[in-house]
Structure 1
């Protein structure tokens, strides 16, 4: 399949954080480098219980099983990769990839898996080399959804699947206001208290701002379809946690 046209950013430029789309990668890399050391502690505050069990069950529902090979994009400190390793058993069957060298250093201290520093839009993997691509709470940080998903399709074997875990705005105005207050104000302040100086507070402010500005679920599913995926679906829990799933079609006979 030819690379589909670019053109769907997950959200508009956020002037509060960077002035031009061309600055996005540098900003995101620096932000997560600066907050990497305290990320796991902060994650425990804002995860709402969406911890190891939720991630592992999401992987299992996506068909992950021993003997397969998984690529975890935007692996961060390796929270999704740890659960994948628990399922697959062999470190060589889980590959972690992230733009942030700081995050990869944290992951390397906890996981014996191969780790790669690269962009989601340009994966340094062979075509048709993995069975599942996972991405945990990070699709808002790429430059173009269609181009990213096209790369996922390229590296997946025929019949392979993609799993995208995300946080979305709840439909209830009251719930949205509560979530905006908690993730947009409380968590950034708590992050500074937990981590002290550094960029942890800004990292959490950016986290909420990207959720608040993110394209709707229908656009994400449309980008998956444009990139060539089928069997596209989305599972919602607690009104805010979304697990997008899609499948690369089998090879044409």
Structure 2
């Protein structure tokens, strides 16, 4: 597997959040442990966190980004398989989708319901061959990678010429009223609901961390610039309800 050239110098998606971990070097361990421990309750929590979006939104986003039968798809940060499951429905065969995650706990949950190849690995060092997929997706996990430039360079490397990229994210609303509403619901209500109906204190901590990474995340323009710098074309961002963002791009043919 070749590296495909040096990655552009772009920042982490958000600054070091010292209330959760001491330094940037500690972030991977914190995130991995957090998701390992809360994996069993993630799907229940997602119902509250998704604000009514769900399978229909993920499936529509995949189709709009260009996923079609006959292709091979890599789902990075597969989690419990919510995006991969919709990819399988579009592609029509389980072997067409491969899932990857840093958290062994999340991979264990994905194995319960998905009969697809699953790999443990990092977004910025994908353990797959060059030009081996037609489509790459990442659902609500871009905020957890340590380096945008390194991750996007890897995404370009593993996509075939003409391959498509879809990054689903939740972003900080721009208007002050919408921001206050999101901060109240996602930053206060959802963590409490996660503790009550999810998996206790660790689930609540995970969803509090989710909001804090959303609140501190770089703006869409920075993500689009990083995609372009990594060699992608047609980079765009579609926003729904002021919160849900779908970043799309293409590896040049």
Question: TM-score when scaled to structure 1?
Answer: 0.97
Q: Return 176-185 or 5-14, whichever deviates more.
A: 5-14
Name the residue aligned to 1:137. Answer: 140
Q: Return 170-179 or 3-12, whichever deviates more.
A: 3-12
Q: How many Å separate the matches in 1 of 2:198 and 2:234?
A: 42
Q: How many Å separate the matches in 1 of 2:168 and 2:199?
A: 28
Correspondences of 1:1-253 after superposition (within 5 Å): 1-250=4-253
The 8 Å contact of residues 125 and 155 in structure 1, kept in 2 or not, is answered as: yes
Moved over 4 A (4+): none
Q: How many Å separate the matches in 2 of 1:184 and 1:100?
A: 23
Q: How many Å separate the matches in 1 of 2:206 and 2:155?
A: 26
Q: How many Å separate the matches in 1 of 2:232 and 2:84?
A: 23
Three-state SS of the structure 1 residue aligned to 2:206 is: helix
Q: How many Å separate the matches in 2 of 1:69 and 1:48?
A: 30
Q: How many Å separate the matches in 2 of 1:197 and 1:57?
A: 33
Three-state SS of the structure 2 residue aligned to 1:199 is: helix
Residue 89 of structure 1: how far off its partner (Å): 1.2
Three-state SS of the structure 1 residue aligned to 2:211 is: helix
Q: Return 147-156 or 166-175, whichever deviates more.
A: 166-175
The 8 Å contact of residues 67 and 135 in structure 2, kept in 1 or not, is answered as: yes
Residue 3 of structure 1: how far off its partner (Å): 2.1
Contiguous gaps of at least 5 residues in structure 2: none
Q: How many Å separate the matches in 2 of 1:99 and 1:6?
A: 23
The 8 Å contact of residues 35 and 198 in structure 1, kept in 2 or not, is answered as: no
Three-state SS of the structure 2 residue aligned to 1:166 is: strand
Three-state SS of the structure 1 residue aligned to 2:86 is: helix
Residue 7 of structure 1: how far off its partner (Å): 3.9
CA deviation map 1:101-160 (0-9, x unaligned)? 000000000100111110000001100000011000100000001110000000000000
Q: How many Å separate the matches in 1 of 2:165 and 2:212?
A: 25
Three-state SS of the structure 1 residue aligned to 2:80 is: coil
RMSD: 0.9
Residue 6 of structure 1: how far off its partner (Å): 4.0
